[in-house]
Structure 1
């Protein structure tokens, strides 16, 4: 009974992924996709009968993944009425990209650090009337706000200012991970071992107490612009507070697994590069880097309840149905 169930689950997962692409009009429907699906359906009973057991199931699962990656995707969207904001256009990739997309017909907003510099002057000189050069130092909040107002004034779809959730936290951890990996290479010649401890959720002081979080939530809400409040809605922001509160009640309050791995890393003759103490922590890097994108996206959306908890503005635009 096990293998029929596994084959059914694999087929259902593949079929659901294809159906999702069809509903979102991301597949180019035609003879090619029909033949691919037909061959895959014929391949399932072949694997089941000729190679019973895990070998046949693994081969069929691999065929599903390959078939999914090879599905004929629909053509590119037309560039007309498409606008793009690019930072770092003084030189290098940003400068070249601004020129390239402008030539293709995009409306381009090119952010530069030096408005009178040679890169900005080159864009003004050779760019079309669709290309706008903006003074935008990405570390300057005032310039970012001014650039947003300039873009908003010219773009028909006004968009919204993003309300960051875990972006800063996750970005800092990713940067530290790469930093320590590089440090490990450079210090290895001196016999110095660098180890990364990447735990899952534990009850520490990072979120503070419930009262502190409530006060911080009120402070954040008061500082939001009326436009952001309208786009996200008070119900969305309140749900975020509830999610963080619920997260605190589910994480482990004993730090022993982390302390044990730190001790092991300190005393081991050959410590591992990465230790992942805590429930499910080992899945985090694997989920982001090894899973197919549609699987990792689905799991992340379900884990953080990103489908049900949608800002009011996104609901009105029908982004998630």
Structure 2
């Protein structure tokens, strides 16, 4: 049966891919976005589809609609954007969760929270299982995002226990792919743009800190499987690629794949930047029909490089 599905942050990098996939599966999709970090260009190709609706709205204000499912993705996710207006970031995570949970409660919709690996902070356990409570600085430069998402998880659990709202919580690990914002300050987009422009590639710290990079299509598959998982499983569940790469390895791969003349330079590591991040995905494999990432780094990077290369050919320039 086709569903009416609301996606907050639907014009964002991840949200636009989710909109596309859910429409392709025959659903009616309502995309809600205030364009703080999302962009109409990400979903313009869907606007002629009669089953797609785009609404400009900020989730810090209530929204009323009848839907079957809600994917709550609204929140700036890169340090450049979430630190730009830290109070707005916390409000989006907390007030956005309250408003969408209220909507889910009223309409009896199932609701999925896009949480983050940032809830683990700078982890003392490696790789990170869902049972790990994290090592987060509550007053640090990243706390507006980290603590906002942690509070949102708490709200989801409490709405489930107190009001019987059907919830799902996923923790997303570093995700990349086409439609990333070239200026979002994330490491994959930074490195690719610097390499394509033959600029120095900037590594913060010694380059030994690691991340696990997940291609966006694998994440979308995990989200949809989580939404469709058994009723008594609501997470949280890690959705990420367990293959771990250092910043130096990533920079070298990007230079090679772009045939760039870029040199690698080093800058001081920002405050509270995690030194390691790697998901334990055994729970996702067990509960989400053997879900695991299919697209590995080289293939995913090449797809993303092609996207950014096309942007430059179309005349994209830095703001």
Q: TM-score range by the shorter chain?
A: under 0.3
Structure with the higher strand share, 1 or 2: 2
**Does 1 or 2 have the higher relative contact order (CA < 8 Å, sep 6+)?**
2
Greater radius of gyration (CA): 1
With the length of structure 1 as denominator, give the TM-score of the two structures: 0.25
Structure with the higher helix share, 1 or 2: 1
